[in-house]
Structure 1
Amino acid sequence: MCLCHGSLYPEHDLVPSHYATRIGDIDVMVISDGAIPVPADVLGTNVDAADRDATLRGRFLPDVIDWGLNVVVVRSGGRTILIDAGMGSEMPESKRTGRLALRLQSAGIDPGTITDVIATHIHMDHIGGLLDERLRSQMRPDLRIHVSHTDVEFFESPDFSHNTFNGIQDIIRTSSRKFLDAYKNELQPFDKEYEVAPGVVATLTGGHTPGHSVVRVSSGGERMTFAGDALVPVGIECPEWQNAFDHEPEEATRVRVRLLREAAETGELFLASHLSFPSLGHVAVDGKAFRYVPANWAY
């Protein structure tokens, strides 16, 4: 048992790791795959560095920000759908990620009951869990994996010329290749939109990657959008900020603003991969900008 700072509890129990809610008749569970420390200077790459740093200090954010790794499990129409699969073992030096198999068990979810996976895009922190034997060995042989055809084509031979991040291109390239090779028979590529189960729709947006998608859940007049990497920390308050991980920075900005406007208009639940767990909240209009309103937890 790994103890942390003298605590009596295992490290993975120090923070909540799963949170359940419902959208109409659809069960939704947000699960944390951990967190990854990311230098703050990958944010706001298109704005003055001093202004960016002042904005981050005003939000009490450090020079290295913990980005959450949120995945979602949805049950609808007799299907159990995993939306994204976390990091797995693709970055072994990151000690606080790759916990999806453990966290699914903790949440009472048998990986063998998962019928479908939706990958919002083919970055290692979204498909890595599917390459990790701790999870992969428990998945069913008839698993269906839904990802946009555009992303499959792009990651057959990825182009990083528009990215400004350094040091992880090789990991992204290697993990995407492993994923496409390992699951070539399970892949169910879609073009623009695909309803995986009643009320669970994957929609191509582009931007973050050319084939990046979001997932919308709707039932009984209620809605939720899982925005994947369409926005990252400070992305709601500063939607014009580009970040070093976007493959199409200008398009990513347009996608982000469009999604935020839609969420503000509908009042729907809204969450994203890298916001602090469980990331569920609402988007409000704040003058010419947006504001994030965390949802009250239902205990």
Structure 2
Amino acid sequence: MTYHVSRRSLLALGAGLGASTLLGGNALARAAKVGTQSPYFHRFMLGGAEVTVVSDGPLPLGPPKGTFTGATDDEIKKMLTDNFLSPDNIVLEQNSPIVNMGDKLVLFDTGMGTSQAFGSTTGRQQKSMAEAGIKPEDIDAVVFSHAHIDHIGGVVDASGKVLFPNAQYYIAQSDFDYWTDEGKLGSPLKDFVIHARKNLMPIRDRLVFYKDGQEFLPGVQALAAPGHTVGHTMFLVTSEGKSFAFLGDLTHHQILLMEHPRMEFSYDTDPKQAADSRVKMLDMLAANKIPVMSYHYPWPGYGHVVKTGEGFHYLPEPMQMLL
């Protein structure tokens, strides 16, 4: 037997049942709303390593116009609405993996910190770490994908105190030099440079510069993917034969910059080079079926890349709630 259900018939059904029936009677109606959300961390295993993803909070970019270019406004709107996303406000996540290798606890990127350049929902990383039971003084290594404001912002607190006192720090020298250059303080990059200097100069003596292809920590290999910034780098993280790639900002959006990887992003230092890096690295990840962790994808940002014609598709990995 086949049933044909329309929206009108569903509405009629709801009216016939009555509000009290749909709400489960008066008992449920009297229950107070809790108004809280679950803690902002998630764990999974990678070989012998335990990975804890912590959030710095949602990062709203506002309307896509002017930020994502290379497609018409109508095309971008359709891409978003077809995937049940708001066409009026692009909201990114900020997902930082903390990898416990057994002998080292490694954090990738540190969020916005005290900056509220994108609103008040960011700057949550320390709280998320506390919810996950991880103390900042236990972090052995902090690895930066690049020196943009939302990746290096959580090194120091409002008073300038270093929040990861026992860590060694890792970054590409080209990115450090570019974003701490005082000569750029008179340019449109001023706020980014101020924030980079605030967070990176206090740890200058503990910075180690990695090279492309180098395994600079056991199980962590640097893979240069320039364009978003001059030294933007992604990382292959490996434990007991299992790997994932931490993408940093190789691609900011799971639809726009995957379906149309040649689309450009206004925060890229060199948009053409960024698109070249994006296509090259996504091709490699898809061909080798390497899982990915993306800093800006929907929480918790872990999944897979598959090739689809001229573009790519992101498939989120189901969250495993039993370790």
Tell me the TM-score normalized by structure 1. 0.87
Q: How far apart are 1:56 and its partner, in Å?
A: 2.1
Greater displacement, 129-138 / 265-274: 129-138
Q: How far apart are 1:134 and its partner, in Å?
A: 8.8
Structure showing greater radius of gyration is 2
The runs of at least 4 aligned residues of structure 1 exceeding 6 Å deviation read none
- Say if 2:145 is the partner of 1:90: no
Question: Please, which of 224, 227, 236 is the counterpart of residue 247 of structure 2?
Answer: 227
Is the contact made by 2:106 and 2:140 (CA closer than 8 Å) also made in structure 1? yes
Residue 312 of structure 2: aligned partner: 290
Greater displacement, 150-159 / 275-284: 150-159
The one-letter code sitting in structure 2 at the alignment partner of 1:178 is K
Q: Deviations over 1:146-205 (max 9, x none)?
A: 000110121133898xxxxxx973321210122232211111112324324321123322
Residue 51 of structure 1: aligned partner: 75
Residue 41 of structure 2: aligned partner: 18
- Say if 2:287 is the partner of 1:261: no
The 3 A distance-change label for structure 1 pair 168 and 83 is farther
Question: Please, which of 109, 120, 126 is the counterpart of residue 101 of structure 1?
Answer: 126
Q: What CA distance in whole angstroms lies between the structure 2 residues aligned with 1:121 and 1:53?
A: 30
Residue 191 of structure 1: aligned partner: 211
Residue 154 of structure 1: aligned partner: 178
Q: How far apart are 1:61 and its partner, in Å?
A: 2.1
The one-letter code sitting in structure 2 at the alignment partner of 1:24 is G
Question: Please, which of 127, 135, 146 is the counterpart of residue 110 of structure 1?
Answer: 135
The one-letter code sitting in structure 1 at the alignment partner of 2:201 is D
Three-state SS of the structure 2 residue aligned to 1:34 is: coil
Is the contact made by 1:129 and 1:135 (CA closer than 8 Å) also made in structure 2? no
Is the contact made by 2:227 and 2:277 (CA closer than 8 Å) also made in structure 1? yes
Q: What CA distance in whole angstroms lies between the structure 1 residues aligned with 2:137 and 2:193?
A: 28
Higher relative contact order (CA 8 A, sep 6+): 1
The 3 A distance-change label for structure 1 pair 22 and 180 is same
Is the contact made by 1:237 and 1:290 (CA closer than 8 Å) also made in structure 2? yes
Q: What CA distance in whole angstroms lies between the structure 1 residues aligned with 2:163 and 2:175?
A: 26
Q: What CA distance in whole angstroms lies between the structure 2 residues aligned with 1:277 and 1:77?
A: 25
Q: What CA distance in whole angstroms lies between the structure 2 residues aligned with 1:211 and 1:158?
A: 18
The 3 A distance-change label for structure 1 pair 21 and 38 is same
- Say if 2:143 is the partner of 1:123: no
Q: How far apart are 1:137 and its partner, in Å?
A: 5.0
Q: How far apart are 1:101 and its partner, in Å?
A: 1.0
Q: What CA distance in whole angstroms lies between the structure 1 residues aligned with 2:202 and 2:234?
A: 23
Three-state SS of the structure 1 residue aligned to 2:42 is: strand
Q: What CA distance in whole angstroms lies between the structure 2 residues aligned with 1:199 and 1:111?
A: 21
Residue 172 of structure 1: aligned partner: 192
- Say if 2:210 is the partner of 1:200: no
C-alpha RMSD over aligned residues: 2.3
Is the contact made by 1:270 and 1:281 (CA closer than 8 Å) also made in structure 2? yes
Task: State the percentage of identical aligned residues.
Answer: 27
Residue 246 of structure 1: aligned partner: 268
- Say if 2:301 is the partner of 1:279: yes
Tell me the TM-score normalized by structure 2. 0.81
Q: What CA distance in whole angstroms lies between the structure 1 residues aligned with 2:188 and 2:98?
A: 28
Question: Please, which of 233, 253, 260 is the counterpart of residue 213 of structure 1?
Answer: 233
**Aligned pairs, number:** 284
Q: What CA distance in whole angstroms lies between the structure 2 residues aligned with 1:196 and 1:149?
A: 14
Is the contact made by 1:222 and 1:268 (CA closer than 8 Å) also made in structure 2? no
Unaligned runs of 5+ in 2: 1-31
Q: What CA distance in whole angstroms lies between the structure 2 residues aligned with 1:274 and 1:71?
A: 9
Q: What CA distance in whole angstroms lies between the structure 2 residues aligned with 1:200 and 1:192?
A: 12
Is the contact made by 2:41 and 2:132 (CA closer than 8 Å) also made in structure 1? yes
Q: How far apart are 1:136 and its partner, in Å?
A: 4.9
